[in-house]
Amino acid sequence: MEKVLIIVGDATETVDTLYPFYRLIEAGFQPVVAAPEKRRYQMVLHEVKPGWTITKEWEGYSIDADVAFAEIKPEEYIGIMFSGGRAPEYIRYDEHLVAATKYFFEKNLPVASVCHGVEVPAYADCVRGRRMATVPKCKFDLEVCGGIFVNEPCVIDGNLVSGRTFHDNGHYVGPWIKLLEEERARRQG
């Protein structure tokens, strides 16, 4: 079974993470959760409530990391997904995560990003000239690193598939899984 990385940390958004996690299993892939260290992580729920101008946050489910960033051997994986929430703001500086991120872009393997997930490939200098969706408040993070913000529920730019928030899961996860299936068929062919 082909393995796919899901990148998380504390305060990773619950729906951003679990929807693609279970969709990968449905499609016959093995999701592998990677984080700063191999332990349990607290996920959160994010929503801009009526009358609020900023995101409100609640604790969500927790998730166990299967591997630490330092243990990632990128060649063992067929693709990668950058989940949202507050985690990317903190984990993006990890040198092992940066190296793994660059690998998937350099090898043109299927990459998915949602919401704040953009902060990891942006910091890794992988978004230059690339069209991406992200939550509008991360538009600056994308553009300052040379990316092109597109305010749509699914943006496909070659191997890169992105959505704005968990509200877009039904739009961008399917096309990303299609790229993973094409890569799997290429490897088996």
* Tens of pLDDT, residues 141-176: 999 999 999 999 999 999 999 999 999 999 999 999
Partners of 62 in the β-ladder: 42
- pLDDT in single tens digits along all 189 residues of the chain: 999 999 999 999 999 999 999 999 999 999 999 999 999 999 999 888 888 888 888 999 999 999 999 999 999 999 999 999 999 999 999 999 999 999 999 999 999 999 999 999 999 999 999 999 999 999 999 999 999 999 999 999 999 999 999 999 999 999 999 999 999 999 998
116 catalytic residue (yes or no): yes
Quote the pTM value. 0.96
CA distance linking residue 153 with residue 31, whole number of Å: 23
Q: Which of 46, 116, 167, 171 is catalytic?
A: 116
- Which stretches of 40-182 are assigned E, i.e. beta strand? 40-47, 56-64, 67-68, 77-82, 111-114, 131-132, 148-149, 155-157, 160-163
With the C-alpha atoms ordered 81, 162, 19, 9, is the resulting torsion angle positive or negative? positive
Number of domains in the chain: 1
Domain range for 95 is 3-188
CA distance linking residue 154 with residue 102, whole number of Å: 22
Q: What CATH number should be reported for the domain holding residue 100?
A: 3.40.50.880
